[in-house]
Amino acid sequence: MPFDFRRFDIYRKVPKDLTQPTYTGAIISVCCCLFILFLFLSELTGFITTEVVNELYVDDPDKDSGGKIDVSLNISLPNLHCELVGLDIQDEMGRHEVGHIDNSMKIPLNNGAGCRFEGQFSINKVPGNFHVSTHSATAQPQNPDMTHVIHKLSFGDTLQVQNVHGAFNALGGADRLTSNPLASHDYILKIVPTVYEDKSGKQRYSYQYTVANKEYVAYSHTGRIIPAIWFRYDLSPITVKYTERRQPLYRFITTICAIIGGTFTVAGILDSCIFTASEAWKKIQLGKMH
C-alpha cells in the first residue's frame, strides 16, 4: 500500500453537501469578521505609531559637554534703557562675570525707553545664578524699573517632539509688568537633565526645570539695594530619559494570530451552542405534537 502523505493533514475537510448553513451562523460569521477587522485596524495603528516611554535614573547624561550647560534667555524690560541693561553670572566654582556681552543682543523698545535682551551663554554644572541688572552700567540709575516679560528661558538643546510635553520653557510668557517697579525678582530654578533618544539611537540633551519666584524690595544699612532679576539655579541628580520605540513585527504578527484564532474559536463555540439548543428545542416541539 503506497504511503499517503495526506495522513498528516490535521485540517480535515468536510464535504460541502454534509454541511448545513443557518441564519444564526451567518449572523455570527458576519459579526465575527467585523470584530476581527476592528481589532486588526486597532493593532495596525498601534504598530505604525511610535511610542515614547520614559524612565528615571541617577547620572550625568551629557558627559561630553565639558561640565557646561547652554542657556538661551530672551527678556523685555519696557522701562529700562538698553545702556543700563546687563547680564551677570556667578556660581560656586568662583565664576563672577559682570556685564556678559558674548552672543548677546540688546534691542531698543518704546522709542529707546525700554530694552529687549537676547542672549546665549553657558553655565557650569554647579549651583549658581545669573541675573539681569544695572550692575555693569557706567552710572547707576536712581530708580531702575525692573518690570519685565520673559519670552524664553531654556537650557540645552531645544526639543520639539509631539509626544513629549515637558517644562523646557517654564518661564516663557511670565509677565511682571504690573509688579512694583523698584522690586527685585527671584526665580528659583531646579534644573532636571533630560535625554531624548529617537528610533535610530541618536540622543539629544536638554533640560527641564521647575520654578518658584518671589518679589521683594531689599534694603541694607546704607539704604535700598538696587533691584535685579535673579535666576538662581541648582541641578537635580535625577535624569529623565525619553525613548522612541516601535512594536516589534513578531509581536504584531502574534497578536493578529491570537485575535483571529481566538475570535473564530469563541464564535464557533457560540454558534455550536445556539445550534444545539435550537435542535433540542425543535425535538421538544416535535415530541409535543405526537
Neighbours of 155 (CB within 10 A): 25
Name the residue among 183, 78, 87, 76 with its Cα closest to residue 136: 87
Query: Which residues lie below 8 Å from residue 108, measured CB to CB, with a gap of 6+?
Result: 82, 114, 115, 116
Predicted confidence at residue 10, as pLDDT, reads 66
For residues 26-43, average pLDDT: 89
Predicted confidence at residue 244, as pLDDT, reads 85
Residue 54: pLDDT band with limits 50, 70, 90: confident
The model's pLDDT over 122-168, given as tens digits with 9 standing for 90+, comes to: 999 999 999 999 998 888 888 899 999 999 999 998 877 767 777 88
C-alpha cell at 120: 546665549
Query: Could you identify the residue written with the cell 509688568?
Result: 177
Predicted confidence at residue 288, as pLDDT, reads 62
Alpha-carbon span 78 to 140, nearest angstrom: 18
Residue 11: pLDDT band with limits 50, 70, 90: low
Q: Domain ranges for the chain, please list them.
A: 23-56+246-277, 59-237
Query: Could you identify the residue written with the cell 536638554?
Result: 206
Query: Which residues lie below 8 Å from residue 238, measured CB to CB, with a gap of 6+?
Result: 56, 57, 58, 192, 193
Residue 227, classed as helix, strand or coil, is: coil
Alpha-carbon span 193 to 54, nearest angstrom: 13
Alpha-carbon span 158 to 53, nearest angstrom: 19
Torsion angle in degrees (nearest 10) through CA of 247, 252, 254, 260: 150
Query: Could you identify the residue written with the cell 497578536?
Result: 255
Q: How far is CA 66 from CA 124, 154, 182, 183, 189, in A?
A: 9, 19, 38, 36, 21
DSSP string, 93-131: TS-EESS--TTEEEEEETTTTEEEEEEEEEEESSSEEEE
User: How would you classify the pairing of strands 174-175 and 223-224?
Assistant: unpaired
The model's pLDDT over 169-217, given as tens digits with 9 standing for 90+, comes to: 999 999 999 999 999 999 999 999 999 888 888 888 899 999 999 999 9
Q: How far is CA 168 from CA 28, 90, 187, in A?
A: 53, 22, 15
- Check if the beta carbon of residue 94 is closer than 8 Å to that of residue 50: no
The model's pLDDT over 95-114, given as tens digits with 9 standing for 90+, comes to: 999 988 889 999 999 998 99
Torsion angle in degrees (nearest 10) through CA of 233, 86, 89, 133: -50
pTM tops 0.85, yes or no: no
Buried b (16+ CB within 10 A) or exposed e, 227-252: bbbbbebebeeebbbbbbeeeeeeeb
Q: How far is CA 81 from the centre of its chain?
A: 38
The model's pLDDT over 227-251, given as tens digits with 9 standing for 90+, comes to: 999 999 999 999 999 988 888 888 8
